[in-house]
Amino acid sequence: MGRILKRAELKVSLSTRVSPIFTSFTFPSNLTGNLIGDSHFFFSQEPQLWERSMISLMGIEIVGQIDKINGKELSYNDFAERYLAKSQPVVISDLTEDWRVREDWVAENGLPNLNFFATHFGKSRVQVADCDRREYTDQKRLEMSVLDFVEQWDKDSVEDNGEDGDDDDDDDDDGKSVLYLKDWHFVKEYPNYTAYKTPPSFSDDWLNLYLDHYQMHEDRENFQKYDQISCSDYRFVYMGGKGSWTPLHADVFRSYSWSANVCGRKRWLFLPPSQSHLVYDRQGYMKNCVYNIFEEVNETKFPGFKETTWLECIQESGDTIFVPSGWHHQVYNLEDTISINHNWLNAYNLACVWDLLWKDYKDTEESIEDIRDISDDFEALCQRNLAANTGMNLNDFFIFMSRFALGNMVLQESLNPCSSAMAQNMVLNLSTIKTMMMKMISAGGVTAKDVSLDLRETLEDPQFLRFCRDMRRTYKMIHKEEDNEVLFPEEFLLKIMGFTDQKMQICSPKDLVEMIDRCNTCSSNPLA
Ligand SMILES: O=C(O)CCC(=O)C(=O)O
Ligand SMILES: [Fe+2]
């Protein structure tokens, strides 16, 4: 990633710096002037505001471009070593060529095939962001059918192209908003339509594998509605016209994300995690993040913002981008665009997820400290708030890790030869889970009294065996090993049960650590 421009050098190319896309830019309301080709381009009576605006209008400092590599020449180990382990963003070409959606969802002219959506998926109810309206920390969301969304989109693009006789390009003038369909759980909704195949580089995905078999929250009564709507999985379709955008954010529980353009182009701006504190107004509970890096950023609230340095990339149609954990990003659709986005986590970013979870837990606790004494079950309240705000609480994390570790032990026992790349992956997974459990213990890892995993019950549960089967298929695919579909015979399962103590329950992080240690000592796997 070469350094391309310094802030001082950028003064000469001011107009290209400020414009997130080339058609829409919002001036502070009390400034007037001509942005392009004029160095005295606006005037304000308020010197302070002038100065503050100068910072934002001078734009952000872009210091480099994201690497771009060819997916055909990328092995899983290369990707893991260079990008997952080092937490570096990258754009990868040639991973989507054989996807069905690149045929079905794209018209001959390269634009989204809106008719196809209307005909096949028109009845789906989806969340649509109004890109011109902020609501708290995000864009205002509307719920509508896919049919209504594509009809509106079609109508807006006819008008934007001047086909209705009005060639005014400015959305603000006619009060029309740019709409952006986001977070559509498409795969969950249409499991029989094989829209695309997750590339092997992004397939070591504990999150979606787990959610295909279990719910995130054990506390079903409290979270049923929330689970069904928001947490069913983290595989999404995004689609929006030119000018639609996503405000600055870091992804849900500091997971990784990947995003592939089925058609269209996006502009991404990235901030490394070492600078995250510069885009928040304070630490702790209720802190606010800068919303739009191309609008006026309040210098008093965000004094560090002017120090931030950004990486940029233009993601072309068919390209896939990898967004590492904790990197803030803001995204623009430069054309009418459809993308597939997944969030995921694995051994390489589990520590980021744990760190965020623990920080959010402490913030949640602090935010309701004043009702501790009058609350019947303060701990349960903290966990409920944490799950609602962060998407996962400490109990969820513990049960998730326990089931995942158990699955890895089962797979490890069934592997032959046991020195394969897949076996090494199991070893990495188990040792990472053990490290997280040790962190949980030393943090005073709170888990509710009634949270536990019964070993016999789990190992005999057909759901758990399906989970193990899918896990096995996935790792075989990633490591290009032949899958002989060995089921899990009784003897393996009995052996796994032998790794626990007599109570046959995993009730705490300490129990899980002990079980992983026993598995390492007894396992037939020489790597362990
Ligand atoms: O494409 C977008 O608008 C946002 C995508 C995003 O934030 C992500 O994939 O993490
Ligand atoms: Fe994101």
DSSP of 349-403:
THHHHHHHHHHHHHHHHHHTGGGTTT-TTHHHHHHHHHHHHHS--HHHHHHHHHH
CA distance 124 to 352: 34
Closest ligand 1 atom, residue 339 Cα: 1
Both 101 and 156 in a single domain?
A: yes
Closest ligand 1 atom, residue 329 Cα: 7
Q: In angstroms, what is the span from residue 259 Cα to ligand 1's centroid? A: 7
Phi-psi label, residue 175: left if phi above 0, alpha if psi -120 to 50, beta otherwise: left
Query: Would 1 be classed as within a structural domain?
Result: no
Q: Are 430 and 409 in contact (CB under 8 A)?
A: yes
Both 217 and 240 in a single domain?
A: yes
Both 249 and 143 in a single domain?
A: yes
Q: In angstroms, what is the span from residue 246 Cα to ligand 1's centroid? A: 7
Mutation test residue for ligand 1: of 138, 319, 331, 342, the one with most atoms within 8 Å of CB: 331
Q: Which residues does a 6 A CB cutoff place in the pocket of ligand 1?
A: 238, 246, 251, 257, 259, 266, 323, 329, 331, 339, 341
Closest ligand 1 atom, residue 251 Cα: 10
Both 340 and 391 in a single domain?
A: no
Angle at 276 between CA 275 and CA 282, to 5 degrees: 120
Query: Would 440 be classed as within a structural domain?
Result: yes
Q: In angstroms, what is the span from residue 341 Cα to ligand 1's centroid? A: 7
Both 324 and 418 in a single domain?
A: no
The number of distinct structural domains making up the chain is 3
Both 70 and 33 in a single domain?
A: no
* Residue 425 identity: N
Identify the pLDDT of residue 495. Answer: 81
CA distance 127 to 214: 24
Among 292, 313, 344, identify where a domain stops.
344
Both 272 and 153 in a single domain?
A: yes
Quote the tokens at residue 190.
């249409």
Identify the pLDDT of residue 223. Answer: 54
Which residues, 6 or more positions from 435, have their beta carbon under 8 angstroms from its beta carbon?
Answer: 351
What's the average pLDDT block by block, 10 residues per block, for the chain (528 residues)?
33 32 32 28 33 52 97 96 98 98 97 98 98 96 98 88 52 72 97 97 98 85 52 93 97 96 98 97 90 95 97 98 98 98 98 95 92 91 90 93 95 79 94 97 74 88 94 95 77 77 84 91 56
Both 382 and 516 in a single domain?
A: yes
Find out whether the peptide bond into 417 is cis, omega within 30 degrees of 0. yes
Both 81 and 204 in a single domain?
A: yes
Identify the residue whose tokens are 């381009």: 41
Both 303 and 366 in a single domain?
A: no
Identify the pLDDT of residue 46. Answer: 36
CA distance 483 to 494: 23
Q: In angstroms, what is the span from residue 79 Cα to ligand 2's centroid? A: 20
Both 230 and 263 in a single domain?
A: yes
Query: Would 403 be classed as within a structural domain?
Result: yes
Among 18, 43, 61, identify where a domain stops.
61
Q: What's the domain range around 375?
A: 350-522
Three-state SS at 76: helix
DSSP conformational letter for 312: E
User: What percentage of the chain has pLDDT greater than the value 90?
Assistant: 67
Among 344, 378, 407, identify where a domain stops.
344
Both 183 and 240 in a single domain?
A: yes
Three-state SS at 171: coil
Identify the pLDDT of residue 269. Answer: 98
